[in-house]
A and B are shown apart, each in its own frame.
Chain A
Amino acid sequence: MMPVAWPKEGVRRIPFAVYSRPEIFESEQTAIFRGPIWHFLGLEAQIPDVGMYVLAQVGETPVIVVREAEGKVNALVNRCSHKGTPLAYVPQGKVSRFLCIYHNWCFGLNGKMISAAFERGVAGKGGMAETFKKEEHGLQKLRVHICNGLIFGTLNDDTPPFEEYVGADLIANIKRVCGKPLRILGQYSQRLPSNWKLYIENVKDPYHASILHAFNGVMKQDRLTMEGGIVMGSRGWSHISYSKLSTDRGDAVYKGKELRSAEVTAYGHGLRDTSMTDIWDDFGDGISMTIQTIFPNFVLQQLRNCLAVRTIVPKGTHEAELRWIAFGYDDDDERKLKGRLKQANMMGPAGLIAMEDGMIGGLVQKGIAGDLDKAAVVEMGGHGIEPIPGSRVSEGSVRGFWTGYRALMGL
């Protein structure tokens, strides 16, 4: 029995208990992370050669993503079938097979067990029991789907095909952003002092972007007065929020004195430096910003020319890790490479736009302490998950996340 009763209003109320109760965290591991979801595991560009691997984490489950052959990527649970020891503990590397340090159990890049130390004993004595069959002790495998170089995996047999899970519009945006060979520019991570869901909710909420992030609003990087909208994925669980920089008409709205960003007058004449605002249209469609999520915890980001993927790894009720990988394209020239690196000042733990997102969830969780029977109010844009055409003044995509969450959690 769950310790949370969802308010009768539905997804326009979020019970505070879902962020902070340990029973909920435990339950998510089974219902969500080992449930029927596609979880981002890494980029093909991270493992171009046979034997190259990266570690990933699906909820609490440790995973190895390894290239077995050209065009063939495997995702294996990083756990020796003998005692449960992780087979790889360096975050990325290149191997010919996985050899457990504890008792030398050995597995191929496809997860099949190859051998164990002293399998036949020593000098005819000892050895594994006759009942032991190597073919029964391969590593647990995840089903893998690769979409334009993004590697996804699932631990559940009932997960629908990726295209059906995500929806055609979102697949189209992955193709748009990742449609040519990627060049990885670097990666880093942030420890978030909050529940993982407070971060993904924040990503799915275009309402806050120009308010909390005063840099955004004042610099006219992303304002709700630009032409833009929200596109919903299958069942409303995933989303894209987008905007067009060249269409802003919002000075009158943003000069309203109730918006904090309007009080920040320092930037009235723009940045002193122009290298961050020297942008180009990567996709020829005038869309300067897309933030796409795939339920439950993946983000594909295009902030002008600053491209990245983010994954939120739950660590506990009050802790999560946010992992970033920034990328450009193999065919970027020097100007584009430099431009992306400059624009990366907007993202990450020191991001001129992103830094507040690292702490806001922690503040919320401090605020809700003591009253976990109460609930958040999420009514911007109505009650439902239908997008409002041409508008981002909505929390519909946040309600979409909770629609998926409730369905899987049975709440």
Chain B
Amino acid sequence: MPLSIMLCDNRAMLYDRVEAIEKANVFEPHYYRHILSDSRTVGDSPDGIRAETSFMCVRTMLDGRMTLFAAGVFHDEIVSENGACRFRSRTVVLDASQVDTLIAIPL
């Protein structure tokens, strides 16, 4: 199924999403802590490599409530530009299709 929870496929959309979170959307303030696995390269892409990294994300609210909010895997395309590695794309695949309350900050 092609539907995603959040879809930004160009730089302008990323700006719009960040600006919406910072200025328009209202939600209970919270923080994420990602726990990452080792990254594994899974192949070449036209300009670089593809890598996978598993993650767990703990969400902490201002009053201290902590929730294991999400688990899943990042599928990344990493390219080398002027001697630095940069993300060309990141696809976040969640293990569950159910979300607790809302996702404001991208995972």
Contact = CB atoms under 8 A, between A and B. Distances in A.
A273 interface: yes
Interface in A11-58: none
A185 interface: yes
B89 to A, nearest CB: 16
A350 B24 contact: no
B20 A352 contact: yes
Interface string A177-216: 0000000111111111100000000000000000010110
Contacts of A273: 10, 12-13, 15-16
Interface in B9-34: 9-10, 12-13, 15-17, 19-20, 22-28
Contacts of B106: 350
Nearest to B6: A350
Given A266-B23, A356-B27, A187 B97 contact: yes
B64 to A, nearest CB: 16
A66 interface: no
A156 interface: no
Contacts of A384: none
A349 B4 contact: no
B98 interface: yes
B7 interface: yes
A267 B101 contact: no
B37 to A, nearest CB: 24
B24 A214 contact: yes
A385 interface: no
A345 B3 contact: no
B81 interface: no
Given A188-B98, A266-B19, A356 B13 contact: no
Contacts of B15: 272-273
B24 to A, nearest CB: 4
Interface in B57-91: none
B3 A344 contact: yes
B99 A349 contact: yes
Q: How large is the interface on A (under 10, 10 to 19, 20 to 34, 35 or more residues)?
A: 35 or more
A358 B106 CA distance: 16
Q: Which secondary structure dominates where chain B touches chain A?
A: loop
A362 interface: yes
Q: How large is the interface on B (under 10, 10 to 19, 20 to 34, 35 or more residues)?
A: 20 to 34
A398 interface: no
Contact of B101 (A184, A349, A352): A349
A271 B7 contact: no
Given A267-B24, A271-B16, A273-B10, A191 B1 contact: no
A215 B2 CA distance: 25
Contacts of A188: 3, 5, 97-99
Given A188-B97, A191-B101, A272 B12 contact: yes
Contacts of B103: 349-350, 355
A264 B12 contact: no
Give the interface centre of B9, B16, B23 by most chain A CB atoms within 10 Å: B16
A348 interface: yes
A187 B3 contact: yes
B35 interface: no
B98 A321 contact: yes
Nearest to B103: A350
A355 B20 CA distance: 11
B71 to A, nearest CB: 15
B49 interface: no
B23 to A, nearest CB: 5
A141 to B, nearest CB: 29
Contacts of A342: 7
Contacts of B10: 273, 275
Given A359-B27, A362-B101, 8 more contacts: A185-B3, A187-B1, A191-B98, A272-B16, A341-B3, A350-B106, A352-B25, A358-B102
13 contacts: A186-B4, A187-B3, A214-B24, A215-B24, A273-B12, A276-B13, A326-B3, A345-B7, A345-B8, A348-B5, A356-B102, A359-B27, A362-B101
